Amino acid sequence: MRFVISLIVTVLLHLGICAYGQKVTMMLQNESLETALKELRRQSKYDFLYNEALITDLEHVSISVKDRGIKEVLDSLFSGSPQLTYSIKDKLVMISRKDMSVSVQETYQISGVVKDREGSPVPGARILLSNYKIGTVADSQGRFVISGLKSGNYNLVVEMMGFQPLSNNVLITNSPANIEVFLSDQVKLLNEVVIMADPNRKKYINLFKKSFIGTTLNAKHCDILNPEVLYTVYDTDNQILKVTADELLLIENKALGYRIKYLLRYYEKDEQTGVVVFYGYPYFEEIEARPRKRRKYMKSREKAYVGSPQHFFRSLYQNKSKEEGFIINDLIKTPNVFKHSAGVNKPINFAGNIRIKGNVWSKRDSLNYLALMKKESDTLEVLVRKDITADELVKPSAGSLKLMELKEALYITFTGEKEDKTYLSSGYRIERPRDLAPFQVSLVYPLRGPIGFYENGGLYDPGSVLFEGVWGYEKVADMVPMDYIIQK
């Protein structure tokens, strides 16, 4: 099955209560903090939420403990990282900076100064708020201010001619944030004379565009204006394409009326599995247009937003998901009792008695369960037709953050829009019951820990989920800013 993970690096929020659990024995020498946390999670059975960017550059840790509580182990792990802290609540460990706590204040600002590596100010640098249309320019002293921001995770993209573009993550909860940004000189290496141009470059760039920009109707009117900044590397043995960029990608979306500056941080496509992994930081600018053209943009933007993950999480936050047209069901796995029978790859209703998750469901329950994607494999995916409410799914957290914990996966049907012909032939389509056939279906798989989200529909850790179906099919060409509001 083809699917896409779109990653945007984020930071986690600080929660408040300490807890105690299973004893831990751990002996690690000069290992990354991430490795230590994974081992701690395995032994303690606690969930851990953290931002990879927050811990990636930290010094490696060494620890030797036997039969210790999780709190004592965490104290030891963080003793060499004075800027980080943690909190424990309901077997959930959340890691953040020490200056983060809960506040009821409505809006905040991010201020700071942009400097070069020698510490001299960089006047004129542009500071862009990723996923928004908000930006500013550093003054003669390299200082800047972005105001009117609510609590949440933000990524600043800083660009200046002659310097490498930079991203800086900022988490706002209880006070204005003040940061220093250090830019590195842009160094372009000239190709050696002995290195030949890659004859397959055009092919690789086209593969990149299809899996990054997308293949939707909007993607046909979306293009990368500076493909020359892209560098492609293809691993022929493993059939993996990797793409990097040494400058911001300039993307023009004539369908939605946006000009996007995209700081690409990672891209990889596995040709054997069809898996595409990419993440980065987009900044949106309006394309100037006459009133008639602008009205067309507004209509197209609304169509792109409606039924999107952003729309779903916004409605879920407000406890209006059903009202907004989203039907939420569980998707579970069970042993495939139909293996080697006829009708492979067809959705089927259960008949007679069948055991699911240790429970025996009778024939009368067959209307509530549907076996999906029946294959010659040991497991079967089963759609549970009992609708899940927002109250059952969402748990409140600290401040403006809400959490969603998934058992296995969610099967989300959006009844406000039907699937278009382009999608039907894309290979992304999800099987469904006949009564849901015209509507858009997406799957949400949890990758790690609970899923946290904010009022604007943004995930504080997009790497915690995997999307399939419509949400895996739609990519950069169908993105709207996080501050998008439907124009009435």
- Return the higher-pLDDT residue of 106 and 227: 227
- CB–CB of 417/405 below 8 Å? no
CA separation for the pair 149, 131 (Å, rounded): 13
For residues 208 and 232, is the Cβ–Cβ distance under 8 A? Answer: yes
From start to end of 375-422, where are the E strands?
379-384, 394-396, 402-404, 409-418
Q: How far apart are CA 199 and CA 234, in angstroms?
A: 12
* Closest residue by Cα to residue 444 from 353, 249, 308: 308
Q: What is the pLDDT of residue 26?
A: 86
Confidence (pLDDT) at 2: 41
| Angular region, 133: left φ>0, alpha ψ -120 to 50, beta rest | alpha
3-state SS class at 93:
strand
More confident residue, 12 or 302: 302
pLDDT at 190 over 80: no
Residue with tokens 């006070």: 175
CB neighbour class for 36 (10 Å; exposed up to 12, middle 13-18, buried from 19):
buried
* 3-state class (DSSP) for residue 62: strand
Task: Look over the chain and give the mean of its residue pLDDT values, rounded to a whole number.
Answer: 81
Select from 281, 295, 312 the least CA-distant residue to 476.
Answer: 281
Mean pLDDT value across residues 389-394: 90
Tell me the residue ranges of DSSP E strands in 359-464: 359-361, 369-372, 379-384, 394-396, 402-404, 409-418, 439-446, 451-453
Tell me which of 99 and 363 has the higher pLDDT.
Answer: 99
More confident residue, 219 or 335: 219
In this prediction the pTM is 0.73
How far is Cα 110 from Cα 304, in angstroms, rounded to an integer? Answer: 30
Residue type, 140: S
Element of type H or E holding 40: helix 33-44
Task: Tell me the domains of the chain and their CATH numbers.
Answer: 11-97 (3.55.50.30), 108-183 (2.60.40.1120), 201-288 (no CATH), 304-478 (no CATH)
d(CA 341, CA 484): 49
Supply the pLDDT for residue 80.
72
Whether the per-residue pLDDT at 77 is higher than 50: the answer is: yes
355 pLDDT exceeds 80? no
Question: Tell me, what's the pLDDT at 58?
Answer: 72
Strands across the sheet with 451-453, in order? 394-396, 402-404, 451-453
pLDDT at 44 over 60: yes
CB 432 within 8 A of CB 457: no
CA nearest to 52, candidates 115, 109, 8, 82: 8
Q: Which amino acid is at 61?
A: V
Burial class (CB in 10 A: 0-12, 13-18, 19+), 282: buried
| 258 phi/psi in degrees, rounded to 5 | -120, 145
**Residue 399, pLDDT score:** 65
Sorted by sequence, the CB contacts under 8 Å of residue 360 that are 6+ apart come out as 353, 354
Q: What is the DSSP letter of 412?
A: E
Structural tokens at position 187: 């160094």
How far is it, in rounded angstroms, from Cα 423 to Cα 438?
12
**232 has which bridge partners?**
243
235-254 confidence digits (pLDDT tens): 999 999 999 998 999 999 99
Q: How many CB atoms lie within 10 A of CB 100?
A: 24
* Of 372, 360, 368, 371, the residue nearest 384 (C-alpha): 368
Enumerate the β-bridge partners of residue 260: 251, 284
DSSP state of 374: -
Residue linked to tokens 């990354």: 32
289 pLDDT band (50/70/90 cuts)?
Answer: very high
Is the CB of residue 306 less than 8 Å from the CB of residue 417? yes
